[in-house]
Amino acid sequence: KLDLEPDSDYETSTFIASSTLGSKHRFIIDSGATSTMVNDARLLSNLYTANPTQIRVGNNEMLVSKQRGTLTLGRLIVPDVLFVPGLSTNLISVGSTPGKWEFSKNSASLFDKDQNTLITAHYINGLYQIKASDLHTALSASTCEISR
């Protein structure tokens, strides 16, 4: 669980995750996170400087986000995503994504208003994760957005 330290110099939010989830390049679907977060600024377009957000990760380490941008994974576009240097795993916040999530025993899918699938995560080791092959396809489709 991620907790934030109250500080008048920092914007505060609440996030749930673990800082020891493993691969730096995977995405976890997080129903408790209030913001989507990435650990690599190259995943974001329209990057801008924002009020610092201080984040306490599961091992009690404090991380700070000072930039935000837009994440594009294939057809999924998420604005106002936090760039968090040192975050071990990218998080997609259920509450910050457009459309409707449907969760099942084996997967979680996000659908747009016309019921088109935007992205699907698979239940692996107790977490809804975007598979590496799906992520590669989504990032390849978004190359023009993330290469800026």
pLDDT at 13 > cutoff 80: no
Q: Label residue 61 by pLDDT band (50, 70, 90).
A: confident
What does the pLDDT average to over 18-45? 79
Report residue 69: phi and psi, to 5°: -165, -165
Please check the confidence at residue 34 and state whether its pLDDT lies above 90: no
pLDDT of 64 > 80? The answer is yes
Q: What is the pLDDT of residue 23?
A: 60
Q: Collapse the DSSP code of 41 into the 3-class scheme (helix H, G, I; strand E, B; otherwise coil) and give the result.
A: helix
pLDDT tens, 69-106? 999 988 899 999 999 999 988 999 999 998 999 999 99
Give me the pLDDT at residue 45, please: 94
Distance, in Å, from the CA atom of 71 to the CA atom of 81, rounded to the nearest integer, reads 7
Q: What is the pLDDT of residue 56?
A: 78
Where are the extended beta strands (E) located within 57-116? 62-73, 76-83, 90-93, 100-103, 107-111
Sign of the CA dihedral with 45 first, then 47, 51, and 52 last = positive
> 14: closest CA among 53, 47, 61?
53
Q: Is 139's pLDDT higher than 80?
A: no
For residue 10, pLDDT beyond 70: no
What are the two backbone dihedrals, phi and then psi, of residue 145, each rounded to the nearest 5 degrees?
Answer: -80, -40
Between residues 20 and 45, the one the model is more confident about: 45
User: Contact 10/62 with Cβ under 8 angstroms?
Assistant: no
